[in-house]
Amino acid sequence: MLLQTKTAHKEAVLDELEQDERWQLIERILATGPFQKSVRLPDLLRYMAERSLHGHPEDLTEHRIGSAVFGKPASYSPTEDSSVRVHVRQLRLKLHEYFDSEGRNSEIIVEIPKGAYTPVFRTVKAEKPVILQPVIVPAPAKTPFWKSYLVPWAVAATMTLIALFFWQRSSASVAATTHAPWPLSEVMDQDQITHAVVADSNYGMMRILSEKSGSLEQYLSPQYPGNFVAPQLTPGESRMVNYLSGSSLTSYADAVVVNALSGMSGGFHDHITVRSARDLRLRDMQDGNYILVGSPSSNPWVSLYEGRLNFVESEGVAGQSMKFFQNKQAASGEQPTYRGLEFTGTSGVDYATISLLPTQSGNGNVLILQGLQQEGTEAAGLLLADPKGRSRLEKALGVSGDTTKPIYFEALIKATAVGGAPDTTEIVATRIIKL
């Protein structure tokens, strides 16, 4: 009986909304192309509008939206996870685009004021047409020929040259800032959020302490990090484990890579959010583009795509054996394995891979930059940040960045490190990934 009462109440609420012209406007907006292509924006707008129309602004906080729409845990911190802010900013832009195009004649407008999460509906009053009365202008005094013809043409020509000058400067500026260069253009666009996911250094240290290889399943387990802790720990090891369990750390190399790539995002800088591998959930991977920084030993999300890659990170006992890239199908002249630095912070040769693939959901793309050590990861990011490096990559792949369809690939990079910093890079091998 109680269930029937709740169901009847829910249906009554829905009927009430369907009769509201403001909700009808929301449904028209959601039926347009930009919202049909997005996974998260329709749910976000629907939730925000429904809570607003029912008079529950207390539910429209960043934390509650994160929990209700994005499935964030109750313990998540909006300070560290900006995904709600980024999606609301994108929603705000999409609403402006709608009312500038398809909804320009709408009598009701919905807006999301900056700094707020409560939609505001306002009525637009049609302006009365203005009837222009004819104005009788006295005949002008006769002026010399050069004044009546040459001066206006000279002024017009001068203004045209000035306009062309500023237009060229503006066009050059827009061209330089609107589009990210290939292959970043495949993971940075106006229709998707780009999630830059940095490695979890704590996970890497947990693997070394426990001498366990680890996996994404273990990483996402409710028992983590307890499932990596040995039964008997010294007092010092216990303090270290407690610190790693309660902190969020990443590497300097990851920070350098994300900073370099975000600086190349052009006009899509507001569409990028930086997240720790620890704050990501499997459901998050259903929407948006991704840049995964780090190898599976520090960023286990990379393991989701190893089945589609030829160069895969391998190792023996965690913390005791050198990591290497296994070449699953070695071509002529290639090695079956590529071993890098024994420890980060040293000098020598390290290896990294740069890979571009579609996400598992097919709703976006993922760019993976993984080095055996931090020096390799940093080298891969700096190669993409360098125009000459990108040109070398295109040449090695035999492709042009100006393509209508995404080109999915992986490239093996050899980096020479000096004192813990990458110095030179070389593209060793490439693969075009055919789906």
The pLDDT assigned to 228 comes to: 83
Q: What is the mean predicted confidence (pLDDT) over 67-77?
A: 87
237-280 pLDDT, tens digit per residue, is 788 878 777 778 888 889 889 988 888 887 777 778 899 999 88
Q: How far apart are CA 373 and CA 384, in angstroms?
A: 18
377 vs 11: which has the higher pLDDT? 377
The pLDDT assigned to 178 comes to: 61
For the chain, give the mean pLDDT: 81
The pLDDT assigned to 76 comes to: 81
The type of residue at 205 is M
Q: What is the mean predicted confidence (pLDDT) over 373-379?
A: 94
Are 69 and 50 within 8 A, CB to CB? no
pTM: 0.64
In this predicted structure, which of 291-295, 345-349, 428-432 has the lowest mean pLDDT?
Answer: 345-349
Number of residues assigned to the chain:
435
Q: What is the mean predicted confidence (pLDDT) over 400-410?
A: 80
* Encoded tokens for 20: 């509201």
Q: How far apart are CA 87 and CA 270, in angstroms?
A: 10
Stated as kind and residue range, the H or E segment containing 121 is strand 120-123
Q: Which residues contact 275 (CB under 8 A, 6 or more apart)?
A: 81, 83, 195, 196, 197, 198
80-98 pLDDT, tens digit per residue, is 777 888 888 888 888 888 8
The pLDDT assigned to 333 comes to: 94
Q: How large is the C-alpha radius of gyration of the chain?
A: 28
The pLDDT assigned to 11 comes to: 52
The per-residue DSSP string of 353-378 comes to: EEEEEE-TTSSSEEEEEEESSHHHHH
Q: Could you tell me the strand order of the sheet in which 272-276 lies?
A: 272-276, 194-198, 289-293, 365-371, 348-358, 409-418, 421-432
167-217 pLDDT, tens digit per residue, is 344 334 333 446 789 999 999 877 788 999 999 999 988 888 888 888 999
Listed residue (274, 289, 272, 297) closest to 200, CA to CA? 297
The pLDDT assigned to 402 comes to: 63
151-175 pLDDT, tens digit per residue, is 443 444 444 444 444 434 433 433 3
Counting Cα atoms < 13 Å in the Cβ hemisphere of 164 gives 6
The pLDDT assigned to 411 comes to: 98
Handedness of CA 391, 394, 397, 400 (dihedral sign): negative
Q: How far apart are CA 204 and CA 318, in angstroms?
A: 9
Are 374 and 346 within 8 A, CB to CB? no
Report the percentage of the chain scoring pLDDT > 70: 83
On the question of pLDDT at 139 being above 80, the answer is no
The pLDDT assigned to 1 comes to: 43
Listed residue (113, 132, 101, 130) closest to 29, CA to CA? 101
The pLDDT assigned to 317 comes to: 79
Q: How far apart are CA 77 and CA 202, in angstroms?
A: 18
